[in-house]
Structure 1
Amino acid sequence: MFEIYMTRLHELTVVLYALSVLLYFIDFLTSNRKANRVAFWLLAFVWGLQTVFLVLYMMKTGRFPVLTIFEGLYFYAWVLITFSLVINRLMKVDFIVFFANVLGFFIMALHTFAPMQIESEVLASRLMSELLFFHITVAILSYGAFSLSFVFSLLYLIQYDLLKRKKWGSRLLRIADLSKLEHMSYVLNIIGVPMLVISLILGIQWAYIKLPAMIWLDSKVLGSILVLTLYSIYLYLKVGRGMSGKSLALWNVASFLVVMINFFLFGKLSSFHFWYK
């Protein structure tokens, strides 16, 4: 029973860490200091839980936890979080903090959901099922954000066309102004991209453990990477190049079409995404 409770606490730290990564990504792109503060305190809470687990483990084993690969992974994740907190508080280097936390999340998830460290085979199997559940849930949430972003971009194109053709009327008044539509589409993509990254990290870990001979050229894997690339380019065009307007909306619509192809077609062609078959 104690092992189950400890496993649940470790899973809670992964969830909180994922939320922190999401908020750090929002701050990274939009310089949202409120998101940065919340992300910092979430990460600080995760660090506190990790520190407690680390101390308890040292008291239980009577040694420093670096003698096995799983102990090393946990200590490595703790070190990354510690450095991230120090850098965030003292240096304010958002670029380094965000990518350090993406790496830290990967290491923590790898340690938390690794069944080899669980003595009970039943618990290890349940852990793998929960890892798969988290992967699918976060992936669908990211697709939901991309779907809403697509709707706003589609409304942008409709509104743009009505204004260009000077079709004044009730339809024009019922659709929000162009700047608001573009902003909402952008915000939803900011949410969707880090969630897709988190989903890919969890999915790759599940596949690595359950399918060691997995073909990395699987259609669903390539499709998900393509989706992430397209939306990352969207954010680069918006933030890095300052692009806006109809061209950006068209890129977003095209990216969502790839999302649908990846969800329906590539899922059926995949050799191991059985829930789509």
Structure 2
Amino acid sequence: MAEVRWIYDLTIFLYAASVLFYFNDFLQSNRKVNRLAFGLLVVVWALQTAFFVSQAVMKGYFPVITLFETLFFYSWVLVGLSLAIHYFFRIDLLVFFTNIIGFVVLVMSMFLPETPIEAVSSILTSELLLTHVTLAMFSYGAFSLSMIFSAMYLLQHKMLKGRRWSPLLRRLPSLDKLEGYAYRMNMLGVPMLLLSIVLGIIWGKMVLPEKFLLDSKVVLSVLVVAIYSLWLYQRYRDTMQMRRLAQWNVVAFLLLLINFLGFTTSTFHDWW
């Protein structure tokens, strides 16, 4: 990894600069600063892609196995999704909030030791497991965007209720659009996470000697899918206040993060 470590370090530096420029734009609504922040973000995504590809070539497998690798991949997904959202919808505040999460995730990976290649067994590099983890990370990306849309909904709802007509309010999409975006992201995230769990169970049945269905991560993952599925059902029935649904969505995402980062409670995710 030492040969390409400079790419990783440069990525963090430029990512920090991009987030700071976006923060300046958030406070002062400066279009020039916004364009500079977006340009840096494009470079960050390109560097992340180069680092990811170099790791894949060097290790000989799709690098989403260790916690360092999954955090890096999660950050890459968030940057890519934010660039896509900016291109299609031009929601600058979403890009800012998304990349706060993406930057924090990337910084977290910086404090983790990189697992030597020889320590990763062939069992962990099976296509079934790699697909399981990749689908989970993409679902986390969708749920992250959904949570941000819901948080923006709650922020705007509070500002409208308090009659606070600030420039920030004018930069937010309408409540209906924010709620609709959150719904679409959850519609994408739930089937991906469900399929990821199914593939993980199939892989576990094939290679794990011990019973694992009562493992904390498995149980919590199923609970997360159930909570998001119930959210979609309540949204479909249209019997709950949108503000309550937005609050529910934020809490569900916090549970998702607990499940993702609470890896030490799991008995068979110890390779992380």
Question: What TM-score, normalized by structure 2, do the two folds share?
Answer: 0.53
Partner of 1:140: 137
Aligned match for 1:235, one of 223, 232, 237: 232
Q: Name the CA shift for 1:199/1:209 in 2 (closer, same or farther; >3 Å).
A: same
Where do 1:143-222 residues align within 5 Å?
A: 143-222=140-219
Distance 1:235 1:135, change over 3 A: same
Q: Which residue identity is paired with 2:216?
A: S
Q: 1:259 to 1:127 in 2, by over 3 A?
A: closer
Q: In the alignment, does 2:271 pair up with 1:268?
A: no
Give the 3 Å change call, closer, same or farther, for CA 146–128 of structure 1 in structure 2.
same
The one-letter code sitting in structure 2 at the alignment partner of 1:243 is M
- 3-state SS in 1 of match to 2:126: helix
Q: Is the 8 A contact 2:147 2:253 kept in 1?
A: yes
Q: 2:164 aligns to what SS in structure 1?
A: coil
| C-alpha deviation, 1:255, in angstroms | 0.4
Structure 2 matches for 1:26-65, cutoff 5 A? none
Inter-partner Cα distance in structure 2 for 1:126 and 1:268: 20
Partners in 2 of 1:153 and 1:250 — Cα distance? 7
Name the aligned partner's letter for residue 177 of structure 1: S
Contact 1:155 1:181 in 2 (8 A): yes
Deviation string, structure 1 residues 8-60 (Cα, Å, up to 9, x no partner): xxxxxxxxxxxxxxxxxxxxxxxxxxxxxxxxxxxxxxxxxxxxxxxxxxxxx
Equivalent residue number for residue 221 of structure 2: 224
Counterparts of residues 60-99 of structure 1 (less than 5 Å): none
Q: C-alpha separation between the residues in 2 aligned to 1:241 and 1:211?
A: 43
CA apart distance, 1:128: 6.3
SS in 2 for 1:160: helix
Q: How far off is 1:245 after superposition? A: 1.5
More off after superposition, 255-264 vs 233-242: 233-242
Between Structure 1 and Structure 2, how many residues are aligned?
A: 151
Displacement after TM superposition at 1:217 (Å): 1.3
Q: Please give the alpha-carbon distance, in whole angstroms, between the structure 1 residues aligned to 2:159 and 2:222.
A: 35
User: What amino acid is aligned across from residue 214 of structure 1 in structure 2?
Assistant: K
Residue by residue, what CA displacement relative to the aligned partner does 1:71-111 show, whole Å, maximum 9, x if unpaired? xxxxxxxxxxxxxxxxxxxxxxxxxxxxxxxxxxxxxxxxx
Instruction: Quote the residue 1:46 is aligned against.
Output: none
Structure 1 residue ranges without an equivalent (≥5): 1-124
- Provide the secondary structure at the position in 2 that maps to 1:216: coil
AA partner of residue 234 (structure 2):
L
Residues 113-172 of structure 1 show CA distances to partners (whole Å, capped at 9, x for unaligned) of xxxxxxxxxxxx679611110000000100110000000000000000000000001010
| Contact 1:238-1:244 within 8 A present in 2 as well | no
CA 1:272 to 1:184, structure 2 compared with 1: closer, same or farther past 3 Å? same
Q: Give the TM-score taking structure 1 as reference length.
A: 0.52
Instruction: Give me the CA root mean square deviation.
Output: 1.6
Amino acid at match of 1:182: E
Larger-Rg structure:
1
Q: 2:231–2:249: 8 Å Cα contact kept in structure 1?
A: yes
Q: Is the 8 A contact 2:123 2:207 kept in 1?
A: no
Aligned equivalents of 2:184 and 2:239: distance in 1?
15
**8 Å CA contact retained: 1:147, 1:256:** yes
Q: Separation in 2 of the partners of 1:127 and 1:169?
A: 52
Which residue identity does 2:204 align to in structure 1? A
